[in-house]
């Protein structure tokens, strides 16, 4: 699994399907499950998967200078009834 930097610091393991089609996942802001890990890609013991979104605006996804993937924790919004 590819490694992405977390916006708040740290790293996360991102699914292959997200890494392969980053522009799609960034454009529609689709959340996906990612596992917190260390810089070498080893999952952190006891850490649970977290829903994340890709933040292409923070790493130049839509430019020629694309860097490492950056993800941020997904914030759920309650719909008003």
Summarize pLDDT for 4-22 with one digit per residue, the tens.
Answer: 999 988 999 999 999 999 9
pLDDT at 33 over 80: yes
Q: Do 57 and 69 meet the contact criterion of CB atoms below 8 Å apart?
A: no
**Average of per-residue pLDDT across 56-77:** 79
- Alpha carbon distance 13, 50 (integer Å): 10
- Alpha carbon distance 30, 17 (integer Å): 12
- Alpha carbon distance 77, 64 (integer Å): 33
């Amino acid at each position: 699994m590819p490694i992405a930097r977390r916006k708040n610091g740290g790293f996360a393991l991102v699914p292959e399907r997200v890494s392969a089609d980053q522009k799609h996942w960034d454009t529609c802001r689709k959340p996906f499950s990612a596992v917190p890990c260390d810089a070498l890609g080893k999952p952190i013991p006891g850490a649970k998967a977290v829903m994340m979104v890709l933040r292409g605006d923070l790493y130049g996804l839509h430019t020629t200078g694309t860097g490492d993937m950056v993800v941020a924790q997904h914030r759920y919004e309650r719909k008003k009834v």
